[in-house]
Amino acid sequence: VVELGIGDDMAVLKSPDDQLLITTDLLLEGVHFDLTAATLEQVGYKAMACSLSDCAAMASLPLAAVVSVSLPQSMSMTDAHQLHTGLQKTAQQYNCPLVGGDTNSWPQSLTVNIAMLSRPAGITPVRRSTARPDDFIFVTGSLGGSLTGKHLTFTPRVHEARQLASNLQLHAMIDISDGLSQDLHHICIASNVSAILEPDTIPISLAAQTSPDPLHSTLTDGEDYELLFTLAPDQLPALTELQNQLDVPLTRIGRLIEPDKTPALFLQQKDQTLKPLIPKGYQHFHD
């Protein structure tokens, strides 16, 4: 697919489909990773994997990526090489070649930006805005506690998303980067629906099970990079069948309803009453 790679003013790609998808993700040292806890190869992995997770969230197939890096002047060429190794290995693993780059040196911290292209490859991109009342809400994998390590080692659900979208009529999908409550809220706002979560059903990761408040952790930690998707109840039999072919568990955690004026989230209590849930997660801006 690459007609002209790194080394000219721009890379030239074959564009196999009529449609094309693009995303950009910036990782900042001290915000998205900590070089006392992560190797540079892990940072390279995470940078690619975050964008691959965006491709997954649209059920699209990764096509190519470009990377921009600001290297601290204190970093050696060996350091830069390790970062590159992490990027390159992941690019190969997901068949998403790095076709361009811009590397700069400066006296401040490491930043890594990935812009990634993907293509529908036969599957209509799954949006956030097309969820419907009465949909069931599902997640892949388990949630919470990502900071203890998973935020560096998660598997972007590219394969699973393609499997889900080609076998089921998904109404909406997003990857959980900000946190379950906040990303579910994004779907609710975009689709004008409200959501009821059943707390006992939310799959809690091992890392979150030892946290002071495991449920809170699953709702707000973020950086799970699992898929959150909604579908009509009549898709359940097909989903059950598909589950056997997937290595990752699919768990129903709630349902969507018509909004009462504005989209909102609720936790269903043991007595079946609904308790409002304020969406919370990692926020870069506080108004």
Please state the closest distance from residue 98 (CB atom) to its own copies, in A: 10
Number of CB atoms found within 10 A of residue 242's CB: 17
- For position 118 contacting its own copies by CB under 8 A, the verdict is yes
* The pair of three-digit structure tokens given for residue 275, joined into one six-digit string: 């308790």
Token pair in block for residue 148: 């203890």
Choose among 239, 41, 277, 24: nearest CA to 139. 239
Region of 141 (left: φ > 0; alpha: ψ -120 to 50; beta: rest) is left
Query: In sequence order, which residues have a C-beta less than 8 Å from that of residue 36 and are 6 or more positions away?
Result: none
Residues in the chain: 287
Please report whether residue 107 would count as binding its own copies according to CB under 8 A: yes
* Contact between 15 and 3 (Cβ < 8 Å): no
Answer yes or no whether residue 206 interacts with its own copies by CB under 8 A. no
Does position 115 interact with its own copies (CB under 8 A)? The reply is yes
Selected binder of its own copies within 135, 160, 175, 178 (CB under 8 A):
175
# of chain residues touching its own copies (CB under 8 A): 62
Q: Which is nearer to its own copies, 69 or 231 (CB)?
A: 69
CB of 188 to its own copies, least distance (A): 14
Using rule CB under 8 A, residue 101 touches its own copies: yes
Quote the least distance from Cβ 142 to its own copies, whole Å. 21
| Residue 95 binding its own copies, by CB under 8 A | no
Q: Which is nearer to its own copies, 270 or 284 (CB)?
A: 284
Residues 6 or more apart from 37 whose CB is under 8 A from it?
none
Q: Is the dihedral of CA 180, 120, 237, 128 positive or negative?
A: positive
153 counts as binding its own copies under rule CB under 8 A: no
Is 20 or 246 the residue whose CB approaches its own copies more closely? 20
Stretch that binds its own copies, among 11-19, 147-155, 215-223, 252-260 (CB under 8 A): 11-19
Angle made by CA atoms 101, 106, 109, in degrees to the nearest 5: 90
CB nearer its own copies, residue 23 or residue 268:
23
Closer CB to its own copies, 77 or 262, in the complex: 77
Do residues 21 and 59 lie in contact, with contact meaning Cβ atoms separated by under 8 Å? no
* CB atoms inside a 10 Å sphere around CB 56: 31
Binding status of residue 48 toward its own copies by CB under 8 A: no
Residue 26 found at the interface with its own copies (CB under 8 A): yes
Asked if 23 is part of the footprint of its own copies (rule: CB under 8 A), the reply reads: yes
**Per CB under 8 A, does 212 bind its own copies?**
no
Q: Is 104 in the site for its own copies (CB under 8 A)?
A: yes
Q: Which of 93, 95, 108, 269 binds its own copies (CB under 8 A)?
A: 108
Burial letters 206-238, b for 16+ CB under 10 A, else e: ebbeebeebbebbbbbbbbbbbbbbbeeebeee
Compute the Cα dihedral for 145, 147, 153, 159 and give only its sign.
positive
Q: Note whether 22 binds its own copies by CB under 8 A.
A: yes
Q: Using CB under 8 A as the criterion, which residues of the chain lie in contact with its own copies when the complex forms? A: 3-4, 7-15, 17-26, 28, 30-32, 54-55, 57-58, 60, 64, 66-70, 77, 99-109, 111, 113, 115, 117-118, 125, 127-129, 174-175, 190, 284-285
